[in-house]
Amino acid sequence: IQSLAWGAFSGLSSLQKLVAVETNLVSLNDFPIGHLKTLKELNVAHNFIHSFKLPEYFSNLLNLEHLDLSNNKIQNIYYEDVKVLHQMPLLNLSLDLSLNPLDFIEPGTFKEIKLNGLTLRSNFNSSDVMKTCIQGLAGLKINRLVLGEFKNERKLKRFDRSFLMGLCNLTIEQFRIAYLGEFSGDDTDLFNCLANVSGISLLSISLESLQALRKDFRWQHLEMINCDFEKFPALKLSSLKKFVFIDNKGISSFNEFQLPSLQYLDLKRNHLSFKGCCSHTDFGTTKLKHLDLSFNDVITLSSNFMGLEQLEHLDFQHSTLKQINAFSTFLSLRNLRYLDISYTHTRIVFHGIFTGLVSLQTLKMAGNSFQNNLLPDIFTELTNLTILDLSKCQLEQVSQTAFHFLSSLQVLNMSHNKLLSLDAHLYEPLHSLQILDCSFNRIRASKDQELQNLPRNLTWLNLTKNEFACVCQHQSFLQWVKDQRQLLVGAEQMMCAEPPDMKDMPVFSFRNATCQMSKTIISVSVVTVLLVTVVGVLVYKFYFHLMLLAGCKKYGRGESTYDAFVIYSSQDEDWVRNELVKNLEEGVPPFQLCLHYRDFIPGVAIAANIIQEGFHKSRKVIVVVSQHFIQSRWCIFEYEIAQTWQFLSSRAGIIFIVLQKLEKSLLRQQVELYRLLSRNTYLEWEDSVLGRH
């Protein structure tokens, strides 16, 4: 842009922010913005403005709060340049003159002027120029003054501490020094001219220590960020309420300090070690409400925060905690509302670890572990908890009553664990739950009857990056996923892990029709298998009976080879040979008997010989009953086949010979044989004579 017409910004009567960076602007006099009475922020950085003179139209910009003139060509500032500020004070105005090559500020230029803020960074080519220009600010009343350089715009390597002496002539509320490297000389009285400021900030400054600070300094806020110290500052400031000490170098151990009014303490990212933590003696105060010890080294919890009962915020994340399971460490912190022990290498063993935290609202414990990878009942007193982070805790199981007392919980993070299912019963007591993150687990599915137990207030559920089983067994769950697209965040990213043919395919690609076909096929297959099994069992059980039936049809009309087939126990064979065979085969008329030891065909199965040679070729069956017979399973089997043979041949063909008196208890074990002998006649061998009853 080479020029701007006077009406360039007409019609913008409500404009609040105007950015004119790199527009080749050389002077504010020709900038047509005098009518923009609502303007709050004007940024004309990176231009070619040589004069700091503020035009008279600035008296119309009563709402202007921020004027950025950084990275221009301003070298000198005179009283006439800020005349408009003397005539019409802009009390809320903050000026940024950084990266201008300042050489001179006329003394008295800013006398009696009140500004909200002034930033002078990377402006001076030498310490002497810097000292002279600061003296030129005498009489200025300012809320926030920033001096120093930028990290990548360093002009001075070493500074004479005397440049700060010029600040004694300014009235400053808050002061900040940034990237000023090393200070030369003794720092004993370095900040004497800043004794009455309410807040001071040191960014990337090299100091030996701050041991010599006077106790009467009225600082309420002290901030030290990315500084280089030889040892931890042992502060003794009675008025200090907030101390921020972050990312500093050169120290490894914590030293006690005396800050009786301290309420806010931030010591994160310093690689500090605490051999005994924490009590009021460590910090010299009993008023502490905010304590941040995150991103440090080893912190040994040897005290239960005695004297720090007013703590409301406590952060240990990414530090290594020791002895946290030794006792109820947080027992006295009944006012604590925020606790972060994430990634502290803590293995939860002691179930009373959170005893006493009755006011806790936020608990973050990600990146730790539990005994047996089981989440136990450790939240029984946390009835006011609203946010709970249990991500990356290697959890495989959760106690069924782990969340029973968390009725106020609104946000629960269970992601990056090893859970195998979405157990809705676990979350049923969480009546206020709105957000549940179960992503990056190993969840395969959930029982469909449990899904109705999810909290009614749930509006955000993340189940992405799990191992869903897209099979018919979980058809109800997969249908539920399709029906709950509004509830499930990133539902399109929910992928199947099995079966193999659906791996890495969206869960939504599963079709219920596949299960209907599968059910029909399965039903037919099951019925077929059952029928085949039943038939097989029946054939196996009644195989010999079936053989007998087939034989009856085959030999039913032929003549019998034997008069009788003899069934007996092998232990009664002497009697059969000497008595039965001799009397029947050698008697008149002679009878032909079928005896297994004599008439069975060699090489043929015994059962086949019994049926084919014994029953099918004999007119009768003689059963020699004895105690040995009753106790023989093989004899009983032959007897049962004989019964079937008698039934199929439709004739009375079984003759019983009882060798001796039988014990009734023994005989009753064979119910059918007992009944048959009770109801039918049989032969009994007595005194070497066959008798009939």
Q: Is residue 305 part of a domain?
A: no
Mean pLDDT of 305-331: 95
Q: What is the mean pLDDT of the chain?
A: 87
CATH code: domain of residue 568: 3.40.50.10140
Measured between alpha carbons, how far is 69 from 48 in angstroms, rounded to an integer?
10
Q: What is the pLDDT of residue 489?
A: 94
Q: What's the pLDDT band for 269 if we cut at 50, 70, 90? A: very high
Q: What is the pLDDT of residue 371?
A: 95
Q: What is the pLDDT of residue 648?
A: 67
CATH code: domain of residue 147: 3.80.10
Q: Is residue 167 part of a domain?
A: yes
Name the residue among 311, 318, 238 with its Cα closest to residue 271. 318
Q: What is the pLDDT of residue 634?
A: 79
Domains identified in the chain, total number: 2
Q: Is the pLDDT of residue 693 over 50?
A: no
Q: What percent of the chain has pLDDT over 70?
A: 88
Buried b (16+ CB within 10 A) or exposed e, 574-597: ebbeebbbeebeeeeeebebbbbe
Q: What is the pLDDT of residue 326?
A: 85
Weakest mean pLDDT among 93-102, 150-159, 173-182, 245-254? 150-159
User: In the chain, how long is the greatest CA-to-CA distance?
Assistant: 163
Cα distances (Å, whole numbers) of residue 490 to 391, 440, 441, 560, 584? 18, 13, 15, 86, 95
- Contact indicator for 381, 405 with CB cutoff of 8 Å: yes
Weakest mean pLDDT among 75-84, 246-255, 284-293? 246-255
Q: What is the pLDDT of residue 692?
A: 39
* Phi, psi dihedrals of residue 290, rounded to the nearest 5°: -130, 120
Q: What is the pLDDT of residue 209?
A: 63
Q: What is the pLDDT of residue 545?
A: 54
Q: Which amino acid is at 471?
A: V
Q: What is the pLDDT of residue 231?
A: 80
Helix (H) or strand (E) holding 549, with range, is helix 543-555
pLDDT tens digits for range 333-386: 999 999 999 999 999 999 999 999 999 999 999 999 999 999 999 999 999 999
**Domain termination site, one of 217, 248, 279:** 248
**Domain termination site, one of 226, 248, 270:** 248
Mean pLDDT of 45-74: 96
Mean pLDDT of 470-474: 91
- Contact indicator for 345, 370 with CB cutoff of 8 Å: no
Mean pLDDT of 238-245: 95
**Domain termination site, one of 204, 224, 248:** 248
Q: Is residue 271 part of a domain?
A: no
Q: What is the pLDDT of residue 577?
A: 85
Strand partners, 145: 118, 175
Helix, strand or coil for residue 56?
helix
Q: Is residue 603 part of a domain?
A: yes
Q: What is the pLDDT of residue 214?
A: 76
Q: Is residue 384 part of a domain?
A: no
Q: What's the pLDDT band for 519 if we cut at 50, 70, 90? A: low
Name the residue among 312, 272, 279 with its Cα closest to residue 294. 272
Measured between alpha carbons, how far is 150 from 477 in angstroms, rounded to an integer?
58
Write down the residue that tokens 């079984």 correspond to: 654
As a whole number of Å, the end-to-end CA separation of the chain is 140
Q: Is the pLDDT of residue 144 over 80?
A: yes
Q: Is residue 103 part of a domain?
A: yes
pLDDT tens digits for range 531-565: 877 766 665 555 555 555 555 545 555 577 888 88
Q: What is the pLDDT of residue 404?
A: 96
Q: Is residue 380 part of a domain?
A: no
- Contact indicator for 594, 612 with CB cutoff of 8 Å: no
Mean pLDDT of 627-637: 80
Helix, strand or coil for residue 570?
helix
Q: What is the pLDDT of residue 498?
A: 92
Q: What is the pLDDT of residue 249?
A: 83
For residue 688, the 8-state DSSP code is T
Of residues 649 and 595, which shows the higher confidence score? Answer: 595
Measured between alpha carbons, how far is 121 from 512 in angstroms, rounded to an integer?
69
Weakest mean pLDDT among 82-86, 119-123, 232-236, 318-322? 232-236
Pairing of strands 387-389, 411-413: parallel
Q: What is the pLDDT of residue 159?
A: 67
Q: Is the pLDDT of residue 669 over 80?
A: no
Helix (H) or strand (E) holding 203, with range, is strand 199-206
Structure tokens at 469: 């089983």
Q: Is the pLDDT of residue 619 over 80?
A: yes
Q: Is residue 510 part of a domain?
A: no
Name the residue among 334, 190, 186, 344 with its Cα closest to residue 277. 344
For residue 111, the 8-state DSSP code is T
What's this model's pTM, rounded to 2 decimal places? 0.73
pLDDT tens digits for range 408-467: 999 999 999 999 999 999 999 999 999 999 999 999 998 766 788 899 999 999 999 999
Q: What's the pLDDT band for 631 if we cut at 50, 70, 90? A: confident
C-alpha torsion angle, residues 403, 405, 407, 413 (rounded to 10):
-30
Segments forming the whole domain that contains residue 612: 543-692
Pairing of strands 689-692, 683-686: antiparallel
Name the residue among 480, 417, 421, 426 with its Cα closest to residue 453. 426
Label each residue of 39-63 as H, E or C: CCEEECCCCCCCCCCCCHHHHHCCC
Weakest mean pLDDT among 1-10, 59-68, 464-473, 583-592? 1-10
